[in-house]
Amino acid sequence: MTKYAIDPELTPWLAMLPEIDLSDMSVVRERAGELEGMIPPVVVPDGIEIREVTIRGHDGYAIRTKVYTPTAQDGPRPGFLSIHGGGFVMGDPEMTEQLSVDIAAETGAVVVSPDYRLAPEHPFPAGLEDCYATLEWLAANTAELGVDPGRIAVGGGSAGGGLSAAVALLARDRKGPALCFQLLEIPELDDRLDTPSMQQFVDTPLWNRPNAEYSWKYYLSGTPETLGLQYAAPSRAEDLSGLPPAFVSVCEFDPLRDEGISYAQRLLEAGVSTELHHYRGTFHGSGLVAGAEVSKRMASDVMDAIRRALS
């Protein structure tokens, strides 16, 4: 780990980070709590209501979904579909609950976060279809939720960022709910694993090439050849025009770095207004060290971008 020029504020935490090895999913399921144990307890300010709803997916699957509503906000509010990360194989809405709460509190948005199905038990397109069905539910219930249908966004980090990009593609191609913004934090976008950063970073903290290989292997294990891979791996999409404005962030020592940069560049080339941030000295998931200045800057940039997009 020390061969990488990681930010000095992050370095002391490296020994305390859990080791993620996706080669044995039974072990991953058993140890999932270690990563969640690093996440501080959620702080919910006054005026934020949290409830659970069940959304019926396209194939009848019951999607457990968390809804975060700012009760003091009057008039039509923005809506935000928050998609958790976890390499397509781990996680739940509780893993990113603090972000969902913060978005609701700081932007006045109604935030909806689905507990989508995970691979390898439920490979692509199950998880993506759950996320898209949640977007459709949000758009169909704007009156009840008090949401402005013209201000609905999607966002997430890591696999959640990849799923957010895919939801935006689906919404465009299916002529579904209009999105005003897509937040793609350290997104997992490309199953081809051929970028320089993906080839170089084989032993970086938390996420590395071996984990990426297993992640895509599990996620695509049930994919029919006739199903377009561009919705599983948005980097494969040939046409990125007509997508909503984007915020893309990448970390220096992250195998996903270059695919995120490339996707942002292609969005710009396609005429999509895009903001790209690269954070020096960081690694995938280094935001878990919330007290580090670079982590504070990353979080501030994300919230500022969401606030501007939804205003």
* Active-site residue set: 158, 254, 284
Q: In what order do the strands lie in the sheet with 77-83?
A: 48-56, 62-70, 110-114, 77-83, 147-157, 181-185, 246-253, 274-283
The answer to whether 104 and 133 are in contact (CB under 8 A) is no
Tokens of 185: 């934090």
> End-to-end CA distance of the chain, in Å?
41
Tokens of 208: 């590395």
Tokens of 74: 């009057």
Dihedrals phi, psi of 136, to nearest 5 degrees? -60, -40
Tokens of 9: 């504020």
State which amino acid sits at residue 207.
W
Can you say whether residue 282 is alpha, beta or left, with left for phi > 0 and alpha for psi between -120 and 50 degrees?
A: beta
Dihedrals phi, psi of 110, to nearest 5 degrees? -85, 120
Helices 159-173 and 126-140, interaxial angle, to 10°?
60
